[in-house]
Structure 1
Amino acid sequence: MQELLKIIAQGLVEKPEEVSVTLDEPKEDGSVVYHLHVAEEDMGRVIGKQGRIAKAIRVVMRAAATRSSEKVVVEID
């Protein structure tokens, strides 16, 4: 899951070498929080107009998590 998020983000940004993904320990409800870190100047590319790209990334991650019976939350930092 972590690699999937990283690959998606690297395809969107100008500086793919600065993309990193960290994750928190699973919460009591079983959900895992993934933190996506990109360069400051690439933040707009990952969020998109009115957050459309960010929403799409979250939808793809939730769909992939469903296949492996996980709950995921994506935060863009």
Structure 2
Amino acid sequence: MTDVKELIKTIVQPLVTQPDDIEIVEHETERFVEYDLHVNHDDIGRIIGKQGRVAQAIRTIVYSVKVPGNKRVRLNIIE
């Protein structure tokens, strides 16, 4: 499942000004494989975008990834 982490990092890295501060934490729940995306506080607006459009585009790509089992992928953007 590290492939999903790499996918998220590949998408987010060009959008931020401080790519070294990108941190992705993975954890599983009963129904989801969740990824918490942490970026520098100054870059959070770049990730969310106007009216959340950039965040929605990132989530659309990530949610299309199949994971083993009957679970779904969820991306949380943490401020």
| TM-score, normalised with respect to structure 1 | 0.87
| Letter matched to residue 54 of structure 2 | I
Structure 2 spans left out of the alignment, 5+ residues:
none
Write out aligned runs for 1:1-77 (5 A). 1-24=4-27, 26-29=28-31, 31-63=32-64, 65-66=65-66, 68=67, 70-77=71-78
CA distance in 2, matches of 1:36, 1:28: 20
CA distance in 2, matches of 1:40, 1:73: 21
Percentage of identical aligned residues: 40
CA distance in 2, matches of 1:72, 1:18: 23
Q: CA RMSD in A?
A: 1.2
Runs of 4+ more than 3 Å apart: none
| TM-score, normalised with respect to structure 2 | 0.85
Structure 1 spans left out of the alignment, 5+ residues:
none
CA distance in 1, matches of 2:21, 2:29: 27
CA distance in 2, matches of 1:41, 1:27: 30
CA distance in 2, matches of 1:28, 1:73: 12
Residues paired across the two proteins, number: 73
